[in-house]
Structure 1
Amino acid sequence: MSTAIQALDRRPLDGLAIGLMLLLCAAWGLQQVVIKVTAPLMGAVMQAGVRSAIAALLVYGFTLWRRQPLWQRDGTLPAGLLAGLLFGGEFLCVFVGLGHTTASRMAVFLYTAPVFTALGLHFTVPGERLRPAQWLGVIAAFAGIVIAFADGMVSPARLSQSGSSTLLGDGLGVLAGALWAATTLVVRASRLASAPASKTLLYQLAVSAVVLLALALMAGQHLDVQFNGLVLASLFYQSVLVAFASYLAWFWLLRQYLTSRLAVFSFLTPLFGVTFGVVLMHDVVGIRFAVSALLVLGGIVLVNRKA
């Protein structure tokens, strides 16, 4: 079946799709808060590695249940390893960065990924050139990043828990967004583009689990873990609900509904992230950061507009 026919088979959003997308965006937005709350009880890198390992086992079990072939020689191994390393780097930046900035700020910086993706496609794929309105979106998003960085450096009301500026954590958040975009570009430009979604996800989770757990062991973070109900609940949320169930639900939605309509809803994720940070973590959101967040969100919308 051709790509055009497949696109025609996808339908506009109905009540089920809208409700599921709102649930997914809320779950993804809450993730930064969950990570930050658990950090004092389990080191950031260790937490990220265990998350990926549990989710990888679940995805592997899912592929066995679906009887999906995984081990055939389809030429995806090099790209899969690279995607896994980039994926691991992204979450390393997120988990470590949350120790130096607020959950609200991380939510905004992480979701600059669509802007970096659009820039990458512009320079690598001839059919994905940015139009003037999209360039305006890129400029708006980066203006928002600059304003947010300045806000984190000079405003005492928004200092991190360590009492220093949020510059390091904010920078890691932007780097995480760039690595997320790089992962997307690797998937789209390689044989992973035609591989089953579960296999692509398994590459990312398995490789990142090995790398992150190795780093955590070398740093001695396994010695300081305090297993209690909060840690177990956090790991269940991050690995089972987010890294496994929510991603599979997202892939199912992409097969059933129009991608452009789904993308619009996904822009709600940083808004949920900021909201949860303010309500649950008492993050302070001043006028300057609010303006920067709106610029970033507006830039993402413009970048993803169809001609």
Structure 2
Amino acid sequence: MRQTRLGPQALALLLLCCVLWGINQVAAKAALTEIGPLWQAGLRSVVAGALVALWAAGRGIRLFERDGSLGGGLLAGALFAAEFACIFVGLQYTSASRMVVFLYLSPFVVALGMPFIAHGERLNGRQWAGLLLAFGAVAFAFAEGFATPHSPQQWWGDALGVAAALLWAGTTLAIRATRLASAPAEKTLLYQLAVSALALCAAAVAAGEPLPAAWSPRLIGLFGFQAVIVSFASYLVWFWLVRHYAATRLAVFTLSTPLFGLLAGALLLGEGISARLLVALLGLAAGIVLVNR
């Protein structure tokens, strides 16, 4: 039975994941100067998938038993691959700070979809008000891409961020609506990493993206952070949490991630933080309070 309240351990794990995910967008954008977006996304899935398989083997977790999860796993993997294609390609056109704000539209879609899957996860009036407030805040931030864009194609990067958010929400809903809901977290994650590794690497070849001629220490560090710390460790924790706690509560709590993304973008990449983006962030924070109070 899934718990509706998040205890201290769950909150600490969620906070750590949110910090890592906020920094992840900065690391991905910084690495784009040395590796193409599709190769970067695909190869990190290759490395993280291998680590998940080794982790499961070491713990005696059987990943290849027939349990009826194949259909859900392929669906979740396809959505996962499309999500990260949108993120990494979108980062070429918009800032990491903006990408991380748009990406966290995902909890609203999860909140809309979960009542059709788990009737116990319906939201009350105050929580719906919080979701609407946060949604309006993100829409307010998106409008900046048309009013005062940093580049003519910023709106395209922003739009890909919104698409990635919808795909992330779809992945969460697919996990909860299929046999993956009772599968080990390692198996759930491996489905997504394996499918995305194949799909994204194939897309990189089809798009004619060149592989790096040499891997600098900088690129190895940025790539290693994404593959090992984020794609392997943090996602394993996230899918464990999805199995044990209410998905709506978890998804909405992750709205704290944009704060860490904004700070990381400003401190590590020197990205400017506009007043409009700060207002949007405050709206997101207010939405979190209303939904989780």
Instruction: Tell whether the structures are fold-level matches, with TM greater than 0.5.
Output: yes
Name whichever of 266-275 and 57-66 sits farther off: 266-275
Equivalent residue for 2:7, pick from 12, 26, 30: 12
SS of 1:70's equivalent? coil
Deviation at 1:202, TM superposition (A): 0.4
| Residue number in structure 1 paired with 2:35 | 42
Name whichever of 102-111 and 294-303 sits farther off: 294-303
Instruction: Summarize the Cα distance change of 1:165–1:258 in structure 2 as closer, same or farther, 3 Å threshold.
Output: closer
Conservation of the 8 A alpha-carbon contact between 2:109 and 2:166: yes
Instruction: Summarize the Cα distance change of 1:133–1:292 in structure 2 as closer, same or farther, 3 Å threshold.
Output: same
Say yes or no: does 1:31 pair with 2:30: no
| Residue number in structure 2 paired with 1:91 | 84
Instruction: Summarize the Cα distance change of 1:121–1:94 in structure 2 as closer, same or farther, 3 Å threshold.
Output: same
How many percent of aligned residue pairs carry the same amino acid? 48
Deviation at 1:222, TM superposition (A): 3.1
Deviation at 1:35, TM superposition (A): 0.5
Instruction: Summarize the Cα distance change of 1:199–1:164 in structure 2 as closer, same or farther, 3 Å threshold.
Output: same
Instruction: Summarize the Cα distance change of 1:265–1:296 in structure 2 as closer, same or farther, 3 Å threshold.
Output: closer
* Counterpart code for 1:81: L
* Counterpart code for 1:140: L
Q: Which has the larger radius of gyration?
A: 1
Say yes or no: does 1:229 pair with 2:217: yes
Provide structure 1 residue ranges, at least 5 long, that are not aligned to the other structure.
none
| Residue number in structure 1 paired with 2:56 | 63
| Residue number in structure 2 paired with 1:114 | 107
Instruction: Summarize the Cα distance change of 1:141–1:21 in structure 2 as closer, same or farther, 3 Å threshold.
Output: closer
Conservation of the 8 A alpha-carbon contact between 1:112 and 1:300: no
Provide structure 2 residue ranges, at least 5 long, that are not aligned to the other structure.
none
Deviation at 1:265, TM superposition (A): 5.9
Deviation at 1:91, TM superposition (A): 0.7
| Residue number in structure 2 paired with 1:179 | 167
Say yes or no: does 1:210 pair with 2:237: no
| Residue number in structure 2 paired with 1:133 | 126
Conservation of the 8 A alpha-carbon contact between 1:55 and 1:243: yes
* Counterpart code for 1:12: G
Q: Provide the C-alpha distance between the structure 1 equivalents of 2:233 and 2:182, rounded to a whole number of angstroms.
A: 22
Deviation at 1:253, TM superposition (A): 6.4
* Counterpart code for 2:54: G
Deviation at 1:154, TM superposition (A): 1.4
Q: Provide the C-alpha distance between the structure 2 equivalents of 1:168 and 1:208, rounded to a whole number of angstroms.
A: 23
Deviation at 1:247, TM superposition (A): 2.5
Q: Provide the C-alpha distance between the structure 2 equivalents of 1:89 and 1:174, rounded to a whole number of angstroms.
A: 12
Conservation of the 8 A alpha-carbon contact between 1:96 and 1:169: yes
Q: TM-score, normalised by structure 2?
A: 0.90
| Residue number in structure 1 paired with 2:277 | 289
Aligned residues: 293
> Where does 1:127-276 land on structure 2 (aligned, <5 Å)?
127-156=120-149, 159=150, 163-223=151-211, 226-250=214-238, 266-276=254-264
Q: TM-score, normalised by structure 1?
A: 0.86
Q: Provide the C-alpha distance between the structure 2 equivalents of 1:111 and 1:277, rounded to a whole number of angstroms.
A: 16
- 1:63-113 Cα deviation digits (max 9, x unpaired): 111111122211100110000000011111110111111111111111121
Instruction: Summarize the Cα distance change of 1:18–1:190 in structure 2 as closer, same or farther, 3 Å threshold.
Output: closer
* Counterpart code for 2:8: L
* Counterpart code for 2:124: R
RMSD (Å) for aligned C-alpha atoms: 2.7
SS of 1:82's equivalent? helix
Name whichever of 138-147 and 104-113 sits farther off: 138-147
Q: Provide the C-alpha distance between the structure 1 equivalents of 2:143 and 2:217, rounded to a whole number of angstroms.
A: 38
Q: Provide the C-alpha distance between the structure 1 equivalents of 2:112 and 2:105, rounded to a whole number of angstroms.
A: 11
